[in-house]
Homo-oligomer: A and B are copies of this chain.
Amino acid sequence: MQLNLDNVDIEILKFLQKDATLTNKELAFKLNKSIATIHERIRRLKEQGYIMRIVAILDRKKVDRNLIAFSHVFLKAHTAEALGEFENEVAKFSEVMECFQMTGAYDFILRIATSDMDTYHLFLRNKLATLPNVSTVQSFFVLSETKSDTAYPL
């Protein structure tokens, strides 16, 4: 795939993926460009959808999300409606950070963030397992997070 980006764009994206509080002035200095050029490049990168959003990343342990689980879910029915309804319902649960439909042995992988094992258990029993089409759920729990990166290498 050919990226529609030159070196300046790529460098800007690399920096902003790590630290989006960098000012245009700081980026201009790092990249030997004018402030106006940096400004225009970032405007285009947002307009064209390369940069989707700028967000604060929180320390999950400080906001009481100590337990991360990966839940592998297998459904009973596999019609388009069944899949779609599961996706809709599961997206409503605040514990669900991510939902992926998968190839292979499972239908979905969910990443669940809760405060502890008790809370996960309640989520599983009272929310996830009550969805009409859920057949089996296999849960894996994170012991430690070795690498956690939101930045794609460019």
Contact = CB atoms under 8 A, between A and B. Distances in A.
Size band of the interface chain A makes with B: 35 or more
A51 B19 CA distance: 12
Contacts of A58: 13, 17, 50-52, 152
Contact of A147 (B18, B55, B91, B148): B91
A80 B48 CA distance: 46
A70 B97 CA distance: 16
A50 B152 CA distance: 23
B87 A150 contact: no
Contact of A1 (B3, B13, B64, B147): B64
A11 to B, nearest CB: 13
Contact of A65 (B109, B140, B145, B152): B152
Given A141-B102, A143-B103, A57 B52 contact: yes
Nearest to A150: B55
B51 A54 contact: no
A150 B100 contact: no
Closest 9 CB pairs of A and B: A16-B56, A94-B153, A99-B146, A99-B147, A87-B146, A103-B141, A91-B147, A101-B143, A1-B64
Interface of A: 1, 3, 13, 16-21, 48-60, 62-66, 68, 70, 87, 90-91, 94-106, 108-109, 113, 115, 139-154
